[in-house]
Amino acid sequence: MSFAAIGLGSNLGNRLEYIQGAISMVGNLPATTIVSRSSIMETEPVGGPKQGWFLNGAMVIETAISPQDLMRSLLSIEKALRRERVVKNGPRTIDLDILLYDNKIIREIGLQVPHPRLAEREFVLEPLKEIAPNWVHPVLGKTIREIADSYQERQMDDFLRTTASFRKQLAARAKRMAAHLKAVKARAGGSRGKSF
Protein backbone atom coordinates (compact mmCIF):
# COMPACT_ATOMS: atom_id res chain seq x y z
CA MET A 1 0.00 0.00 0.00
CA SER A 2 1.09 3.55 -0.73
CA PHE A 3 0.15 7.01 0.49
CA ALA A 4 -0.90 9.79 -1.86
CA ALA A 5 -1.77 13.43 -1.23
CA ILE A 6 -4.46 14.86 -3.46
CA GLY A 7 -5.34 18.52 -3.98
CA LEU A 8 -8.96 19.55 -4.54
CA GLY A 9 -10.41 22.76 -5.96
CA SER A 10 -13.68 24.09 -7.33
CA ASN A 11 -14.92 27.50 -8.47
CA LEU A 12 -18.06 26.70 -10.47
CA GLY A 13 -21.58 25.92 -9.31
CA ASN A 14 -22.02 24.55 -5.80
CA ARG A 15 -18.32 24.43 -5.02
CA LEU A 16 -18.60 22.65 -1.67
CA GLU A 17 -20.93 20.03 -3.11
CA TYR A 18 -18.46 19.27 -5.91
CA ILE A 19 -15.57 18.95 -3.46
CA GLN A 20 -17.56 16.71 -1.12
CA GLY A 21 -18.65 14.59 -4.08
CA ALA A 22 -15.05 14.23 -5.24
CA ILE A 23 -13.88 13.22 -1.76
CA SER A 24 -16.59 10.58 -1.58
CA MET A 25 -15.75 9.22 -5.04
CA VAL A 26 -12.01 9.05 -4.26
CA GLY A 27 -12.85 7.21 -1.04
CA ASN A 28 -14.85 4.67 -3.06
CA LEU A 29 -11.95 3.79 -5.38
CA PRO A 30 -10.82 0.14 -5.12
CA ALA A 31 -8.24 -0.65 -2.42
CA THR A 32 -8.31 2.97 -1.26
CA THR A 33 -8.94 4.49 2.18
CA ILE A 34 -9.12 8.16 3.13
CA VAL A 35 -6.57 8.78 5.87
CA SER A 36 -7.16 12.50 6.48
CA ARG A 37 -8.89 15.55 5.03
CA SER A 38 -8.00 19.20 5.44
CA SER A 39 -10.28 22.11 6.16
CA ILE A 40 -11.72 23.81 3.08
CA MET A 41 -10.42 27.30 2.39
CA GLU A 42 -11.58 30.00 -0.02
CA THR A 43 -8.83 31.36 -2.25
CA GLU A 44 -8.36 33.89 -5.00
CA PRO A 45 -7.67 32.40 -8.45
CA VAL A 46 -4.02 32.31 -9.57
CA GLY A 47 -3.37 32.60 -13.31
CA GLY A 48 -5.85 32.01 -16.11
CA PRO A 49 -8.74 34.26 -17.13
CA LYS A 50 -10.83 36.35 -14.77
CA GLN A 51 -12.97 33.96 -12.75
CA GLY A 52 -14.62 33.31 -9.40
CA TRP A 53 -12.86 32.41 -6.18
CA PHE A 54 -12.03 28.80 -5.39
CA LEU A 55 -12.71 26.46 -2.54
CA ASN A 56 -9.56 24.41 -1.98
CA GLY A 57 -8.53 21.53 0.20
CA ALA A 58 -6.37 18.42 0.34
CA MET A 59 -6.68 14.81 1.37
CA VAL A 60 -4.31 11.93 2.07
CA ILE A 61 -5.28 8.46 0.97
CA GLU A 62 -3.79 5.00 1.41
CA THR A 63 -4.10 3.04 -1.81
CA ALA A 64 -2.91 0.06 -3.79
CA ILE A 65 -3.57 1.91 -7.05
CA SER A 66 -0.46 2.91 -9.02
CA PRO A 67 0.18 6.63 -9.59
CA GLN A 68 -0.72 6.29 -13.28
CA ASP A 69 -3.99 4.46 -12.58
CA LEU A 70 -4.79 6.89 -9.77
CA MET A 71 -4.38 9.82 -12.17
CA ARG A 72 -6.70 8.11 -14.65
CA SER A 73 -9.23 7.57 -11.86
CA LEU A 74 -9.06 11.23 -10.82
CA LEU A 75 -9.63 12.35 -14.41
CA SER A 76 -12.67 10.04 -14.57
CA ILE A 77 -14.02 11.59 -11.37
CA GLU A 78 -13.51 15.08 -12.82
CA LYS A 79 -15.43 14.03 -15.92
CA ALA A 80 -18.25 12.52 -13.82
CA LEU A 81 -18.47 15.84 -11.96
CA ARG A 82 -18.84 17.71 -15.27
CA ARG A 83 -15.43 19.31 -15.53
CA GLU A 84 -14.91 20.83 -18.98
CA ARG A 85 -11.46 21.83 -20.20
CA VAL A 86 -12.37 24.77 -22.43
CA VAL A 87 -9.75 27.35 -21.40
CA LYS A 88 -6.37 26.63 -19.82
CA ASN A 89 -6.53 27.38 -16.08
CA GLY A 90 -10.16 28.38 -16.58
CA PRO A 91 -13.08 27.91 -14.19
CA ARG A 92 -13.88 24.33 -13.23
CA THR A 93 -16.44 22.36 -11.28
CA ILE A 94 -13.65 20.24 -9.81
CA ASP A 95 -9.88 20.00 -10.03
CA LEU A 96 -8.07 16.95 -8.66
CA ASP A 97 -4.27 16.72 -8.60
CA ILE A 98 -1.83 14.18 -7.24
CA LEU A 99 0.46 16.34 -5.11
CA LEU A 100 2.65 13.59 -3.66
CA TYR A 101 2.79 9.81 -3.95
CA ASP A 102 5.01 8.22 -1.29
CA ASN A 103 8.48 9.58 -2.02
CA LYS A 104 8.22 8.94 -5.75
CA ILE A 105 9.46 11.32 -8.44
CA ILE A 106 7.56 10.81 -11.70
CA ARG A 107 8.00 12.86 -14.86
CA GLU A 108 5.73 11.53 -17.58
CA ILE A 109 3.37 13.07 -20.10
CA GLY A 110 0.19 13.70 -18.16
CA LEU A 111 1.69 12.90 -14.75
CA GLN A 112 4.15 15.00 -12.75
CA VAL A 113 4.79 13.91 -9.16
CA PRO A 114 5.45 15.78 -6.95
CA HIS A 115 3.13 18.35 -8.48
CA PRO A 116 5.48 20.85 -10.18
CA ARG A 117 3.86 23.95 -8.63
CA LEU A 118 3.23 22.51 -5.18
CA ALA A 119 5.82 24.77 -3.50
CA GLU A 120 4.48 27.92 -5.22
CA ARG A 121 0.80 27.68 -4.34
CA GLU A 122 -0.49 28.73 -0.95
CA PHE A 123 -3.86 27.14 -1.71
CA VAL A 124 -2.04 23.79 -1.96
CA LEU A 125 0.52 24.25 0.81
CA GLU A 126 -1.80 25.39 3.59
CA PRO A 127 -4.30 22.50 3.39
CA LEU A 128 -1.46 20.01 2.96
CA LYS A 129 0.43 21.48 5.91
CA GLU A 130 -2.67 20.94 8.04
CA ILE A 131 -2.84 17.19 7.39
CA ALA A 132 0.70 16.16 6.37
CA PRO A 133 3.16 18.69 7.82
CA ASN A 134 6.04 16.20 8.10
CA TRP A 135 5.77 14.69 4.61
CA VAL A 136 9.14 15.29 2.94
CA HIS A 137 9.09 16.66 -0.60
CA PRO A 138 11.31 14.16 -2.48
CA VAL A 139 12.82 16.81 -4.76
CA LEU A 140 13.29 19.70 -2.34
CA GLY A 141 14.22 17.51 0.64
CA LYS A 142 12.09 19.66 2.97
CA THR A 143 8.92 18.94 4.90
CA ILE A 144 5.63 20.46 3.80
CA ARG A 145 5.69 22.58 6.97
CA GLU A 146 9.13 23.96 6.07
CA ILE A 147 8.07 24.69 2.49
CA ALA A 148 4.83 26.37 3.61
CA ASP A 149 6.59 28.47 6.26
CA SER A 150 9.28 29.49 3.76
CA TYR A 151 6.56 30.49 1.29
CA GLN A 152 4.88 32.65 3.95
CA GLU A 153 8.20 34.31 4.78
CA ARG A 154 8.81 35.11 1.09
CA GLN A 155 5.30 36.55 0.81
CA MET A 156 5.90 38.75 3.86
CA ASP A 157 9.28 39.89 2.52
CA ASP A 158 7.67 40.77 -0.81
CA PHE A 159 4.89 42.65 0.98
CA LEU A 160 7.37 44.62 3.10
CA ARG A 161 9.51 45.46 0.07
CA THR A 162 6.45 46.59 -1.87
CA THR A 163 5.23 48.64 1.10
CA ALA A 164 8.65 50.28 1.56
CA SER A 165 8.84 51.08 -2.16
CA PHE A 166 5.31 52.51 -2.09
CA ARG A 167 6.17 54.68 0.92
CA LYS A 168 9.26 56.02 -0.87
CA GLN A 169 7.15 56.84 -3.91
CA LEU A 170 4.58 58.61 -1.75
CA ALA A 171 7.29 60.57 0.06
CA ALA A 172 8.90 61.63 -3.23
CA ARG A 173 5.52 62.64 -4.62
CA ALA A 174 4.67 64.62 -1.47
CA LYS A 175 8.04 66.37 -1.72
CA ARG A 176 7.41 67.32 -5.35
CA MET A 177 3.92 68.58 -4.50
CA ALA A 178 5.27 70.64 -1.60
CA ALA A 179 7.92 72.17 -3.89
CA HIS A 180 5.27 72.90 -6.53
CA LEU A 181 2.96 74.57 -3.97
CA LYS A 182 5.84 76.63 -2.65
CA ALA A 183 6.64 77.83 -6.18
CA VAL A 184 2.97 78.66 -6.83
CA LYS A 185 2.75 80.65 -3.58
CA ALA A 186 5.95 82.51 -4.42
CA ARG A 187 4.58 83.44 -7.83
CA ALA A 188 1.27 84.50 -6.30
CA GLY A 189 3.06 86.61 -3.66
CA GLY A 190 5.11 88.31 -6.37
CA SER A 191 1.99 89.16 -8.33
CA ARG A 192 0.32 90.78 -5.28
CA GLY A 193 3.35 93.01 -4.78
CA LYS A 194 2.89 94.75 -8.17
CA SER A 195 0.80 97.94 -8.56
CA PHE A 196 -1.25 98.64 -11.67
Examine the residue annotation and report whether 97 is marked as an active-site residue of this protein: yes
Catalytic residue (one of 97, 145, 154, 167): 97
Q: Which helix (H) or strand (E) holds 98?
A: strand 95-101
- Could you tell me the CA-to-CA distances from 132 to 97, 118, 129, 147, 150 in Å, in that order? 16, 13, 5, 12, 16
Examine the residue annotation and report whether 92 is marked as an active-site residue of this protein: yes
Q: Where are the alpha helices (DSSP H) in the chain?
A: 15-27, 67-80, 122-131, 144-192
Catalytic residue (one of 82, 92, 121, 158): 92
Examine the residue annotation and report whether 157 is marked as an active-site residue of this protein: no
Question: Which own/partner pairs from 152-158 qualify as long-range (CB within 8 Å, at least 24 positions apart)?
Answer: 152/122, 155/122
DSSP state, 109? Answer: T
Catalytic residue (one of 72, 83, 121, 187): 83
Distance CA(180)–CA(158), nearest Å, equals 33
Catalytic residue (one of 15, 37, 95, 121): 95
Active-site residue list? 83, 92, 95, 97
